[in-house]
Structure 1
């Protein structure tokens, strides 16, 4: 596994790509770096702006490569950075006896050739890997006055944002009062136009995240039966009232800022000394992909902590433009891996980042979780709502049960050993092959009205329900 910096310099499409690659050579950017010397392969996962890392593989023999990022430059900055690490810090790569499935898929599709050594492109602008490495070092040292001016400008922008968001919440309060005054029936029928108008106003007033949430209310109402919509509308509006009230009492709270205006960057979360960190074995329960009205697609990947004595969950959340098409995911339902997750600060931490990935974990059954004497799956939901009533999707680990269908075709999860016979409705169509099957445990999301099934354990092993 040998790489020459001059070769990397020749392979780079331009100087900008080299400079961008130099910023990705830090080990903290790569939760996973592995090699297989027999196959002459190196591969890794580079954390981008989203929750799902980009997967990169390079053939060290013929310099073939593949990256899952959407870059139009070849090789991209992630590929160049992986080669750069191999050239300057080969010990960073852990030896692997076999390559992962996604690497094998690439090997099976590519037609291996033996190209001539990389040569600079005739007429191309000069490229220098030394210049790229010096990019960070060459920044001018700011004087004290410049630093003070910049910090003062940051404080002013933060104060301007707080004032704008405060005004936005005042307008939201008036809007909610108007909806209640005009009647829930009218709100349910006209929710699409009404929510779109107030969402546009909130975007103008810098309450961007809250605007996106309101814009999705109509789609959540549309998924329900007619008789359920008024109660659901009350829940949605009530959560907005509580969120606005909480922000006013603590406008600098990281969780509330994330839900109302803007989120922290990955770097800020990783650098936060108070952020919760959990190193454990994790299983990918399932994923939830939703197209939003603002032109983005939200991609949620739900994880289960396999070492915890009680059900503990995490979610990797990513957003990308719908125009970019379906993005390849770093994880597939059923995958298991050893990793350290860093959670976004929250009253009930769920959203997380993969800070470091150590390797794969053997498959098997879930732990035998203790559900408590009452075995009430909604007790978890109640505890989440007590701590953070603005949460929409609450992860649950359901006790032994089965899936049934009523006369109207609605699917239900039914507890099998609960004397009260608790039953919860299921969102969407139900796979007919699951009906009546004994499920030892089921992981699902509960939004207060419907279950969104993720995965289950049965006598036949793991079942993917997402």
Structure 2
């Protein structure tokens, strides 16, 4: 079974309470049986019931099985088993899996085969494909009609905003922005609705708010102009405009050459809530291709997010990149956890980072987040403010995002010495997601 670190296991937990409960199960005495092989680990955990809970973890995805009644995924027993394997691998002897685990693994294999069979059947049925394509085209035409009507209304709203002035917009309540955003949702343009909701907070964001708001309004107007001239633009740029408006891509929409098989390092993740959905951003770097990828996963309220691994995990997988002038967003399939090592190339200093970012914006001006690795930087706190920075060897500083919750942990990892840090750059602020101190990898 591939080696796991404690940090990787903790990153899989649905919440802090699960981590705390799982740590209480890391003593071998809590388990009636324990075992592992090159594919999975398993155990029977003594609980409050008369029978121990049967716990299994298949390492390749990873996938989890437990007979406990918990609705959390993975539950504390699965996390506890992985923590035990990570911290005390000799306490989990190699062996043959018990019958109950073998049945579960066999069912998973059968499910994967049925899924593959359905895919082949669909590919070999041209009549059914033609019917689906016709229905898809009909839905697409209806959506386009709604989107065009919504964009016309948005353009009138923007003209009114500019005519009345940004100072007038600053005085408006939240419903001024929310009402227009709701109309865009009805027009099936959720991407634009999200833009408006995010802009609603800018007038109250302090010094420089008017410049920031004007810049966002300018990008929004550029997007509307681009959509108006959509047919005359290159196809990748058309795709960027459609994506910004709210069109999404499915696995079946991606051509064969959009898929890249590689060994991918999962560098960092962020999970947050948006419109009653939990959203997780996962950033990956391909060792052979050198490509960066952003994988988004969604779950409604308390539903579990798909498990793809924890930061620091290496995956052998295929990634299908969405069409774009600067392809970054991707779908993940056929992922298997592997053992590998390496660090992505890093920018020498913040000037090199900003130059590279400017080149990317020239290709895709609506790019909201960009993955960046900085070498030889030290975290520091502002002398007169509570703003945190990362400082390079030329003493240039990039401000950290105020939402970054672990600046003191990052500083402790540094100990005043330079680190290599990976994170998200939004054009103004840097959000650290992971760092290396020598060969030691730490996720935040």
Q: If the TM-score is normalised by the length of the shorter chain, which range does it land in?
A: 0.5 to 0.7
1:349 is aligned to 2:349: no
Task: Quote the Cα distance in structure 2 between the aligned partners of 1:233 and 1:438.
Answer: 37
Residue number in structure 1 paired with 2:215: 235
**3-state SS of 1:227 partner:** coil
Is 1:411–1:426's contact at 8 Å kept on the other side of the alignment?
yes
Residue number in structure 2 paired with 1:190: 172
Q: What is the root-mean-square deviation of aligned Cα atoms in Å?
A: 4.4
Q: Which runs of 4+ in 1 moved over 6 A?
A: 37-42, 64-70, 112-115, 131-139, 141-144, 146-150
1:437–1:339 CA distance, 2 compared to 1 (3 A): farther
Residue number in structure 1 paired with 2:401: 427
1:167–1:285 CA distance, 2 compared to 1 (3 A): same
Find the partner of 1:319 among 298, 313, 318.
298
1:405 is aligned to 2:390: no
Cα offset, 1:395, TM superposition: 1.4
**For 1:309-329, what per-residue CA distance to the aligned partner results, in whole angstroms no more than 9, with x for missing partners?**
6xx4211101222x2256464
Cα offset, 1:263, TM superposition: 0.7
Residue number in structure 2 paired with 1:444: 423
Gaps (5+ residues) in structure 1?
1-33, 46-52, 71-99, 119-130
1:439–1:181 CA distance, 2 compared to 1 (3 A): farther
Task: Quote the Cα distance in structure 2 between the aligned partners of 1:273 and 1:134.
Answer: 18
1:206 is aligned to 2:188: yes
**3-state SS of 1:347 partner:** coil
**For 1:201-224, what per-residue CA distance to the aligned partner results, in whole angstroms no more than 9, with x for missing partners?**
1122222332233323335x38x8
Task: Quote the Cα distance in structure 2 between the aligned partners of 1:147 and 1:455.
Answer: 44
Is 1:165–1:206's contact at 8 Å kept on the other side of the alignment?
yes
More helix by share: 2
| Bigger mean CA offset, 208-217 vs 401-410 | 208-217
Task: Quote the Cα distance in structure 1 between the aligned partners of 2:364 and 2:115.
Answer: 46
1:461 is aligned to 2:440: yes
Find the partner of 1:360 among 327, 338, 343.
338
Find the partner of 1:300 among 263, 267, 281.
281
Cα offset, 1:248, TM superposition: 2.8
Gaps (5+ residues) in structure 2?
1-37, 44-54, 74-80, 104-113
1:320–1:343 CA distance, 2 compared to 1 (3 A): same
Residue number in structure 1 paired with 2:58: 43
Cα offset, 1:259, TM superposition: 2.5
Residue number in structure 2 paired with 1:336: 314
1:247 is aligned to 2:262: no
Task: Quote the Cα distance in structure 2 between the aligned partners of 1:143 and 1:273.
Answer: 18
Residue number in structure 1 paired with 2:155: 173
1:155–1:308 CA distance, 2 compared to 1 (3 A): closer
